[in-house]
C-alpha cells in the first residue's frame, strides 16, 4: 500500500521538474518587470499570484509613448493576450486579473483583494491615478457596483467600471451571446483595441479555439487623452484575497499605432492541469491503490497513464470498489485516504508531461 503511494509521489516530483524542455520565449518574456507575487516559471509560464492577500504585477520594462506630446491625443493601440485562471476551487477564487496601462511599473500604495493590485481605499476613483485597466473580475464587490462575479470591465482611475459585461462573446454566426467562465482554467484570448481617431476602446474575448469575434464584448466611446500621460507602462495585475488563484499568462503582444501581432499558440507553454481535476484524479488513485484486494490495484504503468490523463479513471469507482468487496470493510466512506496524497496541494508549478 505504501509502495504505491510512494510511486505516485515520485511521479509527481518527476513531472514537476520535467518542464525544462518547454521553450520560455513567448512575447515580452525577456523584458518584463515583476512586482509583488508575480513569478516567471522556468517553463515559460507566467504566474501572477500564488499568495492570499497578495497581488502580482508584470509590466513591460520599457515605457511606451501613448501621446505625441503631453497635450496631444492618445494614439491608437492594440494588444492581445491569452490567459487562464485556475482557482483553488469554484468557490475559493481570487479577485481577478487586469490588463493595465499605468504611469509606473510598480503601483504605489496598491492593495490586493478587491482592489486588484491597482488602487486602494483612498485613491480609488481619483484622476491623479492615470490608470486604465481592463479587468477580468472573478469576485462580486458591491462597493464597486460589480454586475456579478464573472465580468469584464473597463476601469479608468478606479474600480467602479465605466462599462462592464458578463464574461463571454457574441458568436459570429448569429450574434448570440455565449458566456465564458473566467475561472474555468481554460485558456482564453482577450483583445483590447483603441482607435485614437474615433476615440473608441473595444474589448473582445473568446475561447482560444475560435478566431476573434467580429463584435466586441465592450465598446466604449471615450477620449482617453485626458486620462493617460505621454509615457505609460503596459502590463498586468492580479490579486488574491482570502482565497487565491493561479493566473497564467500564456502569450501577449502589444502594438502602438497598429494591429498587435497574432499570438503563436503553437509555442505556448503547457498549462498545469487544473488542481481540481488533479485532486479528483489523485483521490481516486488513492482509493484504487489502497484497495484491500490486490487485483483491484492498478499496475504502475496504469498509474502513470491515469496521472498523465491518458487513461480515464472510472467515474463509478465507488461502485467498482464496492462490487469487488469480498466482505472486507471497504466502502468509499471508510477507505482511509493516505494522508500523503491528500495533503499534496499544487501550489508549485506543475507541468503535465509531453504528449
Ligand X SMILES: *[C@@H]1O[C@H](CO)[C@@H](O)[C@H](O)[C@H]1NC(C)=O
Instruction: For ligand X, give the closer residue by CB, 203 or 285.
Output: 203
Residue with cell 473568446: 206
In whole angstroms, how close is the CB of 207 to ligand X at the nearest point?
5
**Site membership for ligand X, residue 104 (CB under 6 A):** no
> Per CB under 6 A, does 219 bind ligand X?
yes
- The answer to the question of residue 174 lying near ligand X (CB under 6 A) is no
CA diameter of the chain: 83
CA nearest to 273, candidates 187, 339, 338: 187
Q: For helices 275-289 and 2-16, give the axis angle rounded to 10 degrees.
A: 150
* Cα gap 67→133, rounded to integer Å: 18
Beta bridge partners of 81: 190, 252
Q: Give the interface segment with ligand X, choosing from 153-161, 199-207, 236-244, 332-340 (CB under 6 A).
A: 199-207
Stretch that binds ligand X, among 51-59, 212-220, 234-242, 342-350 (CB under 6 A): 212-220
CB 86 within 8 A of CB 277: no
Grouping H, G, I as helix, E, B as strand and the rest as coil, residue 188 is strand
Is the dihedral angle over the CA atoms 42, 45, 47, 50 positive or is it negative? Answer: negative
Helix (H) or strand (E) holding 99: strand 96-102
157 binds ligand X, rule: CB under 6 A: no
Q: Which residue bears the cell 491515469?
A: 306
- The distance of closest approach from Cβ of residue 48 to ligand X in the complex, given in angstroms and rounded to an integer, is 19
Measured distance CA(137)–CA(149) in Å, rounded: 7
Question: Contact at 8 Å (CB) between 131 and 234?
Answer: no
Minimum CB distance to ligand X, residue 37 (Å): 18
Q: For ligand X, which residue has the nearest CB?
A: 109
Question: Which window, 6-14, 86-94, 192-200, 274-282, contacts ligand X (CB under 6 A)?
Answer: 192-200
Q: Which three cell numbers stand for residue 266?
A: 503553437
If binding is defined by CB under 6 A, does position 195 make contact with ligand X?
A: yes
Instruction: Specify the pairing of strand 200-207 against strand 188-195.
Output: antiparallel
How many residues sit in the footprint of ligand X (CB under 6 A)?
A: 28
Minimum CB distance to ligand X, residue 226 (Å): 9
Residue 179 interacting with ligand X (CB under 6 A): yes
Alpha-carbon distance of 347 to 45, in angstroms, equals: 14
Out of 91, 108, 142, 295, the residue judged to bind ligand X by CB under 6 A: 108
Binding pattern to ligand X, positions 37-76, x when CB under 6 A? ----------------------------x--x-xx---x-
- Nearer to ligand X by Cβ, of 122 and 142: the residue is 122
**Please, which residue, 191 or 346, has the CB nearer to ligand X?**
191
What residues make contact with ligand X under the rule CB under 6 A?
29-31, 65, 68, 70-71, 75, 108-109, 120-123, 179-181, 186, 193, 195, 200, 202, 207, 209-210, 215-216, 219
Amino acid at each position: 500500500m505504501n509502495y504505491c503511494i510512494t510511486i505516485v509521489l515520485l511521479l509527481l516530483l518527476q513531472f514537476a521538474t520535467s518542464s525544462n524542455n518547454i521553450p520560455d520565449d513567448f512575447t515580452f518574456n525577456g523584458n518584463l518587470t515583476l512586482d509583488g507575487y508575480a513569478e516567471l516559471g522556468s517553463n515559460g509560464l507566467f504566474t501572477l499570484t500564488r499568495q492570499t492577500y497578495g497581488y502580482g504585477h508584470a509590466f513591460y520594462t520599457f515605457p511606451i509613448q501613448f501621446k505625441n506630446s503631453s497635450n496631444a491625443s492618445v494614439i491608437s493601440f492594440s494588444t492581445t493576450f491569452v490567459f487562464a485562471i485556475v482557482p483553488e476551487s469554484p468557490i475559493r477564487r481570487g479577485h481577478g486579473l487586469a490588463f493595465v496601462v499605468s504611469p509606473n511599473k510598480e503601483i504605489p500604495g496598491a492593495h490586493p483583494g478587491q482592489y486588484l493590485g491597482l488602487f486602494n481605499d483612498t485613491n480609488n476613483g481619483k484622476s491623479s491615478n492615470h490608470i486604465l485597466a481592463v479587468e477580468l473580475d472573478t469576485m462580486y464587490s458591491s462597493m464597486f457596483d460589480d454586475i456579478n462575479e464573472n465580468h469584464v470591465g473597463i476601469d479608468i482611475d478606479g474600480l467602479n467600471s465605466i462599462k462592464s459585461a458578463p464574461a463571454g462573446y457574441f458568436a459570429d454566426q448569429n450574434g448570440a451571446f455565449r458566456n465564458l467562465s473566467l475561472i474555468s482554467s481554460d485558456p482564453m484570448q482577450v483583445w483590447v483595441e483603441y482607435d485614437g481617431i474615433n476615440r473608441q476602446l473595444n474589448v473582445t474575448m473568446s475561447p482560444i479555439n475560435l478566431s476573434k469575434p467580429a463584435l466586441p464584448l465592450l465598446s466604449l466611446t471615450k477620449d482617453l487623452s485626458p486620462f493617460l500621460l505621454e509615457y505609460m507602462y503596459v502590463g498586468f495585475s492580479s490579486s488574491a484575497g482570502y482565497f487565491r488563484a493561479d493566473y497564467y499568462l500564456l502569450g501577449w503582444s502589444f502594438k502602438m499605432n497598429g494591429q498587435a501581432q497574432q499570438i503563436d499558440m503553437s509555442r505556448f507553454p503547457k498549462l498545469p492541469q487544473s488542481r481540481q481535476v488533479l485532486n479528483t484524479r489523485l483521490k481516486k488513485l488513492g482509493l484504487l491503490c489502497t484497495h484491500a484486494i490486490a487485483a483491484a490495484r492498478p499496475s504502475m504503468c496504469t498509474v502513470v497513464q491515469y496521472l498523465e490523463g491518458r487513461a480515464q479513471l472510472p467515474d463509478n469507482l465507488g461502485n467498482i470498489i464496492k462490487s469487488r468487496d469480498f466482505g472486507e470493510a471497504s466502502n468509499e466512506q471508510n477507505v482511509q485516504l493516505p494522508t500523503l496524497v491528500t495533503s499534496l496541494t499544487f501550489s508549485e508549478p506543475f507541468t503535465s508531461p509531453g504528449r
